[in-house]
Structure 1
Amino acid sequence: MELRHLQHFVAVAEDQHFTRAAERLMVSQSGLSASIRALERELRAPLFVRTTRRVTLTEAGRALRAEAERILAQVRSAHEAVAAVQGVLRGTLALGTEQCIAGVHVASLLAAFRRRHPDVEIRLRQAGSGALAEEVAAGRLDMAFAYRTQADSDQLRSVSLTSEPMTVLCHPSHRLASPGAALTAQDLAGEVFVDFHPDWGPRRTTDAAFTAAGVRRTVALEVNDVHSLLDLVDENLGIAVVPRHFRHKRPALTALPLKGTGEAEYETVALLPPERATSPAARALVTLLETGGLAPPQDGPQAS
């Protein structure tokens, strides 16, 4: 099994199209098709279901994709490790992050990283914490900044960044908007909620807190970005339960402490593969984060 066969297979799996994959790889379509056929012959299994519009993975193809991505990530790490020993950090840093993550200012961190390591190509992907954890574990991302969704495993480890309580945001004219009032999950029963997709860290934290309190809630307005959430609350269309640092993004809203939720705090972490599989670029970014003093104060207005 040749590495180029795996590279070609992963490209077709990502693009779901032979022509687009061939263009991205800068190979002929016939050569790409021959490479896939050779891999299928070796594995004695079809890897794709081909139609006139796109190709999709078979069950065997889905099984191979996870392993192929891990193998290619390890090969890339090996090349980068040799370059690092020679004193030059090269290659690619594939980083994932949730929006407005606490404990790190991602833009400032990446700017500092680029100044120190200009030969490293930075790729950034924004997604929910659940998806980011899966991509780091599968080798598609070198690391990610996310909400802690699971305990450490043999495929994923975490470095804690910060933790903070959840806060209720509402319009100043809302019936709950009493300055300094502390609310419980029971106080919020029956309210209209604005929240994120279930894969996001804040949503997972809130869902866990209400489940633990035995209070059912319905998310009537579901969004995928922070500013849309704040806009909806600002129009008094619902309330939101969010990490405490969100309150600085819209000072006109009323922020109220959420009590009685036990240990349901919002903990953000850097997600990494096992130490042996961590790329030199990811190690350099973690070192910069730990020693550079780049994270703004958790409660400050510049919290990302």
Structure 2
Amino acid sequence: MSANEGPAANIGLLAPAPAVDRSASNVMDLRQLRYYVFVADLKSIARASAHLGVAGPAISRSIAALEDELQTPLFERDGRGMQMTDAGIMLYGSASKILRDVELVRQQVMAEGKHLVGDVIVGATPSVIAMAGAGLIKTCRERIPRVRPRLLEGYSAYLQNWVLTGSLDVALVNGLRPDSPRLISECLAVERLFAIGPPGMFDGGPVGLADLLQKALLLPSLQNPIRSLLDAGAASLNLSVSAELEIDSVTLLKDLVRHGMAPAVLPFGAVKYELETGALSAGPIVDPEITSDLYLIYLADRPPSRVASEVIQLLLEVLRQVVAGKEKHGFVEIRQRSAGRRR
């Protein structure tokens, strides 16, 4: 064997690996997966564009690039919008898990400091804000002074939309199980619903639902869970609900009740101050009793951070103090959060 025929010479004969043009290859990234999950949930590029604040053509190109890379259609277009194919459903499950895992890693890294620090935006119904809002702010300042909770009040349907668009970190909504697979829900409390009237209409004692339904009521629109709970209670008596007027403003609804237009149905906390001052009267609805579950909701791929989880725990603590104290309230039960849910 000559010198030129040894092992070293043979290695030298290997052809160099061809250069790879990375710019021309399609590689799935988190941005593409996020766009895909939004389109899959909302069944529309236009709606996903509105929620994400991203131009529709950019989302379309992202979806097309995914389909090109995977060499299979991910959506079928029909009259109901964009429906996932079998391959799309498979990608959806994996993409949702990837996004959730990435978010958890981000939160864990951020929470490694010695003190809880940060902002958290919490949405809640008027009843929860009235019963626990001030107590929560006070307790947060005492216990976690470097955390700044921001409370936003709204109807449950609006709060759900704000969570979906990322405007809220978490929200507490009444009687509303999320209708999007992107949302996770935890039942944290149960509230009773009350008949609300002008001064003197109710004396604080129980109000039979059948008697209440003899009157036309001021009610929120059909998308509000209070309306569906009242309709279900009426159906159990083979009765129906008559709406004097549909109003999606708690402030206006209470004002119209106070002026004697018609009674209404709300959780106790929503009229707490008016009952204390005598501006309104109320009584718990019975026969049947109507209760509303209070759900904590948040995005599946953006679970509550350590900071948000601590604020939620303090909120539940404040609510338990309300229930244990002498102050009137409408809560039937305050539950513990599962340890596995906390971050």
Q: TM-score range by the shorter chain?
A: 0.5 to 0.7
Question: Quick check: 1:84 aligned with 2:111?
Answer: yes
Q: Alpha-carbon deviation of 1:127? A: 4.2
Question: Quick check: 1:45 aligned with 2:73?
Answer: yes
Name the residue aligned to 1:281: 307
Q: Alpha-carbon deviation of 1:265? A: 2.4
Structure 1 pair 45/13, CA: closer, same or farther in 2 (3 Å)? farther
Alpha-carbon separation, structure 2, partners of 1:234 and 1:188? 17
Alpha-carbon separation, structure 2, partners of 1:158 and 1:8? 29
Identity of aligned residues (%): 21
| Correspondent of 1:2 among 12, 24, 29 | 29
Tell me which amino acid in the other structure corresponds to 1:4.
Answer: R
Structure 1: runs of 5 or more not aligned: 23-28, 50-55
Structure 1 pair 222/204, CA: closer, same or farther in 2 (3 Å)? same
Q: Alpha-carbon deviation of 1:83? A: 2.1
Q: Alpha-carbon deviation of 1:194? A: 0.6
Is the Cα–Cα contact under 8 Å of residues 128 and 269 in structure 2 kept in the other structure? no
Q: Secondary structure at the match of 2:111?
A: helix
| Correspondent of 1:16 among 49, 72, 85 | 49
TM-score normalised according to structure 1 size: 0.66
Count of equivalent residues = 281
Alpha-carbon separation, structure 2, partners of 1:19 and 1:182? 47
Name the residue aligned to 1:132: 160
| Correspondent of 2:124 among 63, 78, 97 | 97
Question: Quick check: 1:204 aligned with 2:228?
Answer: yes
Q: Secondary structure at the match of 2:195?
A: strand
Is the Cα–Cα contact under 8 Å of residues 185 and 215 in structure 1 kept in the other structure? no
Q: Deviations over 1:203-228 (max 9, x none)?
A: 33323322223321122311212111
Structure 1 pair 33/288, CA: closer, same or farther in 2 (3 Å)? same
Structure 1 pair 180/121, CA: closer, same or farther in 2 (3 Å)? closer
Is the Cα–Cα contact under 8 Å of residues 77 and 280 in structure 1 kept in the other structure? no
Structure 1 pair 249/210, CA: closer, same or farther in 2 (3 Å)? farther
Higher CA-based Rg: 2
| Correspondent of 2:296 among 243, 253, 270 | 270
Name the residue aligned to 2:185: 156
Stretch moving more, 105-114 or 184-193:
105-114
Is the Cα–Cα contact under 8 Å of residues 140 and 314 in structure 2 kept in the other structure? yes
Alpha-carbon RMSD across the aligned residues, in angstroms, is 4.9
Structure 2: runs of 5 or more not aligned: 1-27, 40-44, 331-343
